[in-house]
Chains A and B, each alone.
Chain A
Amino acid sequence: MSIKTSAAQGAGQDSPKSATAPLSAAARLRKVHWYQEPRWRRLGALLALAVTLRLMTGEEGTTQDLFLALREDFTGVGLWIWLAIAVAVWAVREFLTDQTSRAVEGTKKVSAGPLDRVRQVWSADKRVRMGVLTAVLALVVFGPLGVERYWQQVLVDQIAIFVLLAIGLNVVIGWAGLLDLGFIAFFAIGAYSAAYWTGALPVQPPVALNNFLVLPIAVLTCLVAGVILGAPTLRLRGDYLAIVTLGFHEIVYLMAKNADGVTEGARGVKVERFSVDLGFFSYEWKLDPMPYYWLLVVFIVLAIFLFLRLEHSKVGRAWTAIREDEVAAAATGVPTVRYKLMAFAIGASTSGVAGVAYASKAGYFNPENFAILLSILVLAYVIFGGMGSIPGVLFGAAFLVWLPEYLREWVDPKDRYMYLGALLVIMMIYRPQGVLPSRRRKRELRMAEAGVGGADATGPAEGRQP
Chain B
Amino acid sequence: MLNKTIVKLAIPMAVGALALTGCGGGDSGSGDAYKIAFQGPLSGDNVQLGQNMENGIKLAIDQANAEGDLGFEVEYVPVDDQGLPDKATTAAQKAIDDEDVVAVIGPAFSGPADTAAEIYGSAGLVALSSSATRPDLTTKGYETFLRAVPNDSAQGAGMAKYLANKTKAEKVVVVDDKTDYGIGLADVAEKDLKAAGVEVVRQSVPQKTPDYSAAAKNVTKNKPDALIYAGYYQDAGPFAKKLKEAGFDGVAMSGDGTNDAQFIQLAGDASDGWLLTCPCTDATKEDATKKFAADYEKEFKQAPGTYSAESYDAAMMIIEEIKKLHEDGGVERQALVDALRAAKYKGLTKEFSFDDKGEFTNQTIYLYQVKGEGIEYQGSIDELAG
Binding site for B on A (CB under 8 A): 1-2, 4-5, 38, 41-42, 45-46, 49-50, 53, 56-57, 62-65, 68, 82, 85-86, 89-90, 93, 148-150, 152-154, 157-158, 257-258, 265-268, 270, 287, 289, 358, 362-366, 368-369, 405, 408, 410-411, 413-414, 416-417, 426, 429-430
Minimum C-beta distance from A37 to chain B (A): 11
For the complex, what is the distance from the CA of A369 to the CA of B297, rounded to whole Å?
A: 34
For the complex, what is the distance from the CA of A265 to the CA of B204, rounded to whole Å?
A: 12
Quick one: which of B4, B114, B297 contacts A270, CB cutoff 8 A?
B114
Does A257 lie within 8 Å of B115, measured CB to CB? no
- Residue of B3, B5, B80, B90 most packed against chain A (CB within 10 A): B90
B1 interface contact, C-beta 8 A: yes
Quick one: which of A45, A65, A158, A413 contacts B78, CB cutoff 8 A?
A413
A to B CB contacts below 8 Å, 22 in the list: A42-B6, A45-B3, A46-B6, A50-B13, A56-B17, A57-B17, A62-B301, A64-B301, A64-B303, A150-B93, A153-B89, A158-B90, A258-B204, A267-B183, A287-B119, A369-B85, A369-B86, A408-B80, A413-B78, A414-B47, A414-B51, A429-B3
Does B9 lie within 8 Å of A53, measured CB to CB? no
For the complex, what is the distance from the CA of A98 to the CA of B316, rounded to whole Å?
A: 62
Chain B residues with CB under 8 Å of A4's CB are 1-2
Chain A residues with CB under 8 Å of B4's CB are 429-430
For the complex, what is the distance from the CA of A391 to the CA of B42, rounded to whole Å?
A: 32
Does A149 lie within 8 Å of B93, measured CB to CB? yes
B30 interface contact, C-beta 8 A: no
For the complex, what is the distance from the CA of A56 to the CA of B16, rounded to whole Å?
A: 12
Does A157 lie within 8 Å of B89, measured CB to CB? yes
For the complex, what is the distance from the CA of A201 to the CA of B100, rounded to whole Å?
A: 40
Minimum C-beta distance from A452 to chain B (A): 20
Residue of A nearest to B123 (CB): A287
Chain A residues with CB under 8 Å of B300's CB are 62
Does A369 lie within 8 Å of B12, measured CB to CB? no
B178 interface contact, C-beta 8 A: yes
Does A154 lie within 8 Å of B13, measured CB to CB? no
Chain A residues with CB under 8 Å of B244's CB are none
For the complex, what is the distance from the CA of A2 to the CA of B2, rounded to whole Å?
A: 8
Quick one: which of A38, A65, A414, A426 contacts B10, CB cutoff 8 A?
A426
Minimum C-beta distance from B13 to chain A (A): 6
Does B1 lie within 8 Å of A2, measured CB to CB? yes
B302 interface contact, C-beta 8 A: yes
Does B6 lie within 8 Å of A45, measured CB to CB? yes
For the complex, what is the distance from the CA of A257 to the CA of B180, rounded to whole Å?
A: 11
Chain B residues with CB under 8 Å of A158's CB are 86-87, 90
Chain B residues with CB under 8 Å of A358's CB are 86
Of the listed stretches B18-26, B209-217, B367-375, chain A binds B18-26
For the complex, what is the distance from the CA of A452 to the CA of B206, rounded to whole Å?
A: 47
Does B114 lie within 8 Å of A86, measured CB to CB? no
Does B80 lie within 8 Å of A362, measured CB to CB? no
For the complex, what is the distance from the CA of A153 to the CA of B90, rounded to whole Å?
A: 5
Binding site for A on B (CB under 8 A): 1-7, 9-10, 12-14, 16-18, 20-22, 42-43, 47, 51, 78, 80, 83-87, 89-90, 93-94, 96-97, 111, 114-115, 118-119, 122, 134, 178-180, 183-184, 204, 206, 297, 300-303
Chain A residues with CB under 8 Å of B18's CB are 410
A interface: dominant SS: helix
Does B9 lie within 8 Å of A42, measured CB to CB? yes
B interface: dominant SS: helix
For the complex, what is the distance from the CA of A369 to the CA of B42, rounded to whole Å?
A: 17
Chain A residues with CB under 8 Å of B9's CB are 42, 46, 89-90, 93
**Are A157 and B90 also in contact (CB < 8 A) when A89-B12, A429-B4 are?**
yes
Does B86 lie within 8 Å of A64, measured CB to CB? no
For the complex, what is the distance from the CA of A57 to the CA of B122, rounded to whole Å?
A: 39
**Are A364 and B78 also in contact (CB < 8 A) when A153-B90, A157-B87 are?**
no
Chain A residues with CB under 8 Å of B1's CB are 1-2, 4-5
Chain B residues with CB under 8 Å of A410's CB are 18, 21-22
Chain B residues with CB under 8 Å of A366's CB are 85, 111, 180
Minimum C-beta distance from B181 to chain A (A): 10
Does A429 lie within 8 Å of B2, measured CB to CB? no
Minimum C-beta distance from A281 to chain B (A): 24
For the complex, what is the distance from the CA of A93 to the CA of B5, rounded to whole Å?
A: 10
Does B114 lie within 8 Å of A266, measured CB to CB? no
Top 10 closest pairs, chain A to chain B, by CB? A2-B1, A64-B302, A153-B93, A153-B90, A150-B94, A150-B93, A150-B97, A413-B43, A62-B302, A45-B6
Does A149 lie within 8 Å of B84, measured CB to CB? no
**Are A57 and B85 also in contact (CB < 8 A) when A49-B6, A64-B302, A157-B90 are?**
no
Minimum C-beta distance from A420 to chain B (A): 11
For the complex, what is the distance from the CA of A268 to the CA of B113, rounded to whole Å?
A: 12
Chain B residues with CB under 8 Å of A368's CB are 83-85, 111
Chain B residues with CB under 8 Å of A265's CB are 178, 183
Minimum C-beta distance from A199 to chain B (A): 17
Chain A residues with CB under 8 Å of B114's CB are 268, 270, 364
Does A86 lie within 8 Å of B13, measured CB to CB? yes
Does A365 lie within 8 Å of B85, measured CB to CB? yes
- Residue of B47, B84, B297 most packed against chain A (CB within 10 A): B84
Does B22 lie within 8 Å of A85, measured CB to CB? no
For the complex, what is the distance from the CA of A289 to the CA of B301, rounded to whole Å?
A: 41
- Residue of A93, A266, A369, A411 most packed against chain B (CB within 10 A): A266
Chain A residues with CB under 8 Å of B16's CB are 85
Chain B residues with CB under 8 Å of A416's CB are 43
Chain B residues with CB under 8 Å of A365's CB are 85-86
Minimum C-beta distance from A254 to chain B (A): 9
